[in-house]
């Protein structure tokens, strides 16, 4: 990955004819730190980056912008629904702008608060060649993220906590989500107005698959999409959990049992049937029988979206949570917070509520 920040810092330092030591003295850090920043061996913290921005009279986002000074770039986009979108060029241009505007504000708040968000791919170096690799990858991710085999309470919150920025948009176009990155450094998942929580969770994890999975050469786009779907289901409920929840040596499974698992794991009944087949809990013939029985039940006027309710938010809240902390810690003024949230101050105060509690007297 190109060391964009280091290259920019070097250009600024040499442009002012400053040595490593001279710059370090002005910023108040060690000379070796400047050397490491410029050579990509480490990254400056928020406080240091703000000092560098002030010293060189550049906005903090300058260090995240492209080498030519152009704004942050949302690129490497994986968009499975693109063929269904009319005027895809205009659509992507508008979505890119929404994403870049959001990320710019997100990064600004992080720097003000001194947060050091970082994404480490838990599956880096793992090559995916078949379905067994997908099952293993899902369990590896859960292990490294310390989730175990338990249900994931909130997928979006989990992704945000691991350094992935989730951007929610409200577009009229018929698409669920897409993924990409900002300047090849910040992974982005975009979710488009998905009222169904189970579908939203599956979509978010499908896009996560595009970010963390590395496929062997020769995979078609269609096969990649299939494996990302497979990965999403496997992350929601791993094979051991499927066997544990259904139980061994069963002769029949009731719809009420599927409802219970749906409510526990936040996975649709359709996806559960798919997982039962993927994990070899049922064979192809039994899978077809399950689908037929489900279709008959559904066509009988039953809406599976209202059959078993999974309780969680599944909303991107990290940005507003940072805003609240910034206000409470006096690092953000109400006017600055309102500007970042694109809200009127009185509306922001009403939403956040001014009541605070001291942690230390």
Phi, psi of 132, rounded to the nearest 5 degrees: -65, -35
Question: How long a stretch of residues is the chain?
Answer: 361
Structure tokens, 208: 């996560």
> Domain segments of the chain: what residues?
1-70, 127-306, 318-352
Q: How many Cβ atoms are within 10 Å of 200's Cβ, its own excluded?
A: 23
Q: What is the DSSP letter of 26?
A: H
- pLDDT above 70 covers a percentage of the chain that reads 93
Structure tokens, 273: 């049937």
The confidence score (pLDDT) of residue 65 equals 61
Question: 62 with 136: CB under 8 angstroms?
Answer: no
Question: 88 with 82: CB under 8 angstroms?
Answer: yes
- pLDDT per residue as tens, the chain (361 positions): 467 788 889 999 999 999 999 999 999 999 999 999 999 888 887 678 778 988 998 876 677 665 555 567 888 999 988 888 888 889 999 999 899 889 888 988 887 887 878 899 999 999 999 999 999 999 999 999 999 999 999 999 999 999 999 999 999 888 999 999 987 889 999 999 888 999 999 999 999 999 999 999 999 999 999 999 999 999 999 999 999 999 988 999 999 999 999 999 999 999 999 999 999 999 999 999 999 999 988 888 766 666 788 888 899 999 999 999 999 888 888 888 888 898 999 989 888 876 666 666 5
Q: Whole-model pTM? A: 0.81
User: CA dist 315 to 118, 166, 234, 341, Å?
Assistant: 20, 9, 21, 16
The confidence score (pLDDT) of residue 100 equals 87
| Domain 1-70, classified CATH 3.40.50.1980, yes or no | no
Structure tokens, 73: 């770039």
Structure tokens, 329: 């810690």
Which residues are 74's β-sheet partners?
A: 182
């Amino acid at each position: 990955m190109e060391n964009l920040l280091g290259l920019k810092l070097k250009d600024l330092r040499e442009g002012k004819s400053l040595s490593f030591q001279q710059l370090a003295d002005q910023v108040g850090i060690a000379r070796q730190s400047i050397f490491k920043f410029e050579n990509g061996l480490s990254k400056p913290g928020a406080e240091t980056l703000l000092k560098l921005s002030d010293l060189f009279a550049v906005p903090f986002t300058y260090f995240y912008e492209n080498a030519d000074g152009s704004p942050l770039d949302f690129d490497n986009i994986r968009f499975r629904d693109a063929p269904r979108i009319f005027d895809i060029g205009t659509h992507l241009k508008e979505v890119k702008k929404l994403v870049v505007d959001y990320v710019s504000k997100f990064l600004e708040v992080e720097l003000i608060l001194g947060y050091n968000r970082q994404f480490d791919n838990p599956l880096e170096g793992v090559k995916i060649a078949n379905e067994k690799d997908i099952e293993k990858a899902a369990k590896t991710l859960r292990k490294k993220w310390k989730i175990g085999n338990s249900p994931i309470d909130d997928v979006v919150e989990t992704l945000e906590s691991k350094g992935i920025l989730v951007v929610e948009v409200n577009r009229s176009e018929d698409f669920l989500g897409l993924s990409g990155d900002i300047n090849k450094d910040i992974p982005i998942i975009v979710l488009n107005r998905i009222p169904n929580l189970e579908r939203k969770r599956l979509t978010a994890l499908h896009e996560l698959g595009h970010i963390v999975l590395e496929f062997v050469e020769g995979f078609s786009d269609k096969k990649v999409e299939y494996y990302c779907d497979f990965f999403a289901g496997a992350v929601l409920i791993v094979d051991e959990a499927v066997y544990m929840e259904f139980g061994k040596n069963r002769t029949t499974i009731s719809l009420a049992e599927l409802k219970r698992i749906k409510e526990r794991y936040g996975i649709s009944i359709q996806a559960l049937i798919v997982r039962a087949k993927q994990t070899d809990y049922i064979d192809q013939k039994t899978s077809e029988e399950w689908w037929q029985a489900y279709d008959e039940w559904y066509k009988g006027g039953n809406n599976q979206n209202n059959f078993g309710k999974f309780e969680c938010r599944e909303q991107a809240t990290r940005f507003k949570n940072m805003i609240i902390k910034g206000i409470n810690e006096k690092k953000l003024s109400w006017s600055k917070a309102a500007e970042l949230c694109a809200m009127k101050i009185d509306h922001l105060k009403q939403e956040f509520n001014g009541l605070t509690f001291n942690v230390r007297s």
